[in-house]
């Protein structure tokens, strides 16, 4: 994002502001050093919060208070307390508006969008991303072109992702197109290109065009293996497995189908290893689903229903409605394969019930599609 107050623990020009506190400035410097020294790890943020925990007893400037709330927000997000992180961002935002500091507002909106995404609040995330983009566009004439392009390339794939989950595919496609134009003009834009392709792969799988998704999913894996963080790489491997299995399912029985099924296996194995290493419970659940899907297509009778039911229990325990919905759809597909359409339809209806008041309606499309096809058949 652009240079703004939130990028620094302290600045000389802050010193003239009302209630500026030198003691708190020292604490903010110490917290910043801790975070950078430990490479923004969750433990670093925990330590940083301990360093500044006495700030509430001090009289401080609005800008220092904003910086503290921002630090607390990032810390809570890093240690998995994202809901508390959003609350702290809200406090920081009110101060940024009071200070009339638009670049600080844009940075806070950017982070709140990402936190809302983590909580599956995609409508709120999209609103924040649009507001952030609006601020950037308003100030674009006074900024370096490369900086504007860089920020837009961060926002466009994210906004497309939010719109995908909200089932606003026209808007998602528009932002994918805009991102691709910028990527073509930007050197070393591999990460934005991967993020953009990620949304397109999901759209192609959902819209039953898995053949278009296979090659891009492999390219996404390569990019995140080299430049992404481990969690992104893990999810990229899961996506590649999903693309391969969806492609296999679209093919007639035979050698080519069998090859497509086997193509998913190394991606599942890699994702399982990463999910276990990262202790990513949602990732472990998704890997189990892909393993069960693989076993069904490969005709392996290895307790597939038990695997899916275990994922449903895990997803319920960690309150991950996205994984829960995908598990119910896969269980429905399993019952369909076993010739039990009544049980299958019950799973699909359960999926729609789960998603009724959520901001991820796209995850219900496979269930709705099957139920609609069954209704047409009965008519």
Long-range contacts of 239-244 (CB under 8 A, 24+ apart): 239/198, 239/201, 239/202, 240/264, 240/267, 241/267, 241/268, 241/271, 241/290, 241/294, 242/205, 242/217, 242/290, 243/201, 243/204, 243/205, 243/210, 243/213, 243/214, 243/217, 244/214, 244/217
Q: Per the domain annotation, does 98 fall within a domain?
A: yes
- The pLDDT of residue 13 is 93
Q: 142, 176, 205: which is the final residue of a domain?
A: 142
pLDDT in tens, 143-158: 888 888 999 999 999 9
Residues 6+ apart with CB under 8 A from 16: none
- The pLDDT of residue 375 is 67
Tokens 């920081």 locate to 92
pLDDT at 379 over 50: no
Q: Per the domain annotation, does 314 fall within a domain?
A: yes
How buried is 120 (Cβ within 10 angstroms: 0-12 exposed, 13-18 middle, 19+ buried)? middle
- The pLDDT of residue 58 is 81
Q: 107, 142, 177: which is the final residue of a domain?
A: 142
Q: Per the domain annotation, does 292 fall within a domain?
A: no
- The pLDDT of residue 378 is 45
Q: Of 166, 167, 164, give the one whose Cα is nearest residue 179.
A: 164
**Does this model's pTM top 0.85?**
yes
Tokens 């994984």 locate to 323
What is the domain extent for residue 320? 303-379
Q: Per the domain annotation, does 326 fall within a domain?
A: yes
Q: What tokens appear for 244 in the block?
A: 């391969």
pLDDT in tens, 187-237: 989 999 999 999 999 999 999 999 999 999 999 999 999 998 999 999 999
- The CA-atom distances, in angstroms, between 192 and each of 133, 205, 220, 243 are 16, 20, 10, 20
- The pLDDT of residue 189 is 93
pLDDT at 125 over 80: yes
Angle at 30 between CA 86 and CA 67, to 5 degrees: 35
Give the least confident one: 2-6, 85-89, 164-168, 270-274. 2-6
Number of domains in the chain: 2
pLDDT in tens, 163-186: 999 999 999 999 999 999 999 999
- The pLDDT of residue 141 is 86
Q: Per the domain annotation, does 317 fall within a domain?
A: yes
Measured distance CA(13)–CA(230) in Å, rounded: 39
Half-sphere exposure of 194 (CA within 13 A, CB side): 24
Which one-letter DSSP state was computed for residue 21? -
Residues 6+ apart with CB under 8 A from 81: none
Tell me the CATH number at 109.
1.25.40.10
- Report the sign of the C-alpha dihedral through residues 227, 231, 233, 235, in that order: negative
- The pLDDT of residue 53 is 84
Q: Per the domain annotation, does 93 fall within a domain?
A: yes
CB 289 within 8 A of CB 322: no
CB 166 within 8 A of CB 123: yes
Q: Of 127, 126, 125, 147, give the one whose Cα is nearest residue 136.
A: 147
Tokens 């491997």 locate to 237
As a whole number of Å, the end-to-end CA separation of the chain is: 55
Which 3 state secondary structure label does DSSP give 266? helix
Angle in degrees, 0-180, between the axes of helices 190-206 and 145-165, rounded to the nearest 10? 20
Mean pLDDT of 46-69: 90
In the structure, what pLDDT confidence band is assigned to residue 377 with cuts at 50, 70 and 90? very low
DSSP string, 176-243: HHHHHHHHHTSTT-HHHHHHHHHHHHHHHHHTT-GGGTHHHHHHHHHHHHHHS-HHHHHHHHHHHHHH
pLDDT in tens, 25-37: 999 999 999 999 9
CB 72 within 8 A of CB 89: no
Q: Per the domain annotation, does 56 fall within a domain?
A: yes
Q: 108, 124, 142: which is the final residue of a domain?
A: 142
* Per-residue burial over 38-74, b = 16 or more CB atoms within 10 Å of its CB, e = otherwise: eeeeeebbebbbebbeebeeeebbbbbbbbbbbbbbb
């Amino acid at each position: 994002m652009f240079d703004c107050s939130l990028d620094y623990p302290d600045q000389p020009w802050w010193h003239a502001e009302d209630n500026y506190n030198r003691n708190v400035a020292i604490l903010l410097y110490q917290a910043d050093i801790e975070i950078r020294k430990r490479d923004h790890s969750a433990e670093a943020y925990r330590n940083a919060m301990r360093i500044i925990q006495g700030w509430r007893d001090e009289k401080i400037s609005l800008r220092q208070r904003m910086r503290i709330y921002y630090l607390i927000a990032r810390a809570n997000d890093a240690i998995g307390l994202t809901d508390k992180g959003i609350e702290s961002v809200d406090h920081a935002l009110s101060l940024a508006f009071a200070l009339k500091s638009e670049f600080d507002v844009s940075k806070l909106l950017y982070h709140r969008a990402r936190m809302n995404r983590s909580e599956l609040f995609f409508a709120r995330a999209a609103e924040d991303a649009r507001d952030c983009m609006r601020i950037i566009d308003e100030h674009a004439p006074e900024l370096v072109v490369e900086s504007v392009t860089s920020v837009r390339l961060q926002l466009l794939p994210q906004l497309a992702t939010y719109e995908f989950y909200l089932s606003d595919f026209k808007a998602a496609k528009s932002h994918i197109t805009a991102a691709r134009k910028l990527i073509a003009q930007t050197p070393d834009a591999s990460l934005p290109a991967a993020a953009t392709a990620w949304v397109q792969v999901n759209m192609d799988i959902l819209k039953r065009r898995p053949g278009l998704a296979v090659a891009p999913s492999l390219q996404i894996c390569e990019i995140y293996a080299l430049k992404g963080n481990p969690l992104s790489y893990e999810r990229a491997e899961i996506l590649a497995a999903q693309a391969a299995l969806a492609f296999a399912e679209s093919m007639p029985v035979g050698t080519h189908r069998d090859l497509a099924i086997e193509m998913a296996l190394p991606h599942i194995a890699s994702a399982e290893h990463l999910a276990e290493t990262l202790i990513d419970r949602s990732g472990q659940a998704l890997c189990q689903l892909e393993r069960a899907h693989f076993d069904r297509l490969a005709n392996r009778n290895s307790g597939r229903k038990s695997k899916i039911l275990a994922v449903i229990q895990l997803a319920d325990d960690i309150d991950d409605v996205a994984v829960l919905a995908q598990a119910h759809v896969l269980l429905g597909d399993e019952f369909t394969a076993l010739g039990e359409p009544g049980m299958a339809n019950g799973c699909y209806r359960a999926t729609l019930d789960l998603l009724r008041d959520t901001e991820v309606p796209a995850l219900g499309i496979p269930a709705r599609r099957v139920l609609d096809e069954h209704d047409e058949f009965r008519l």
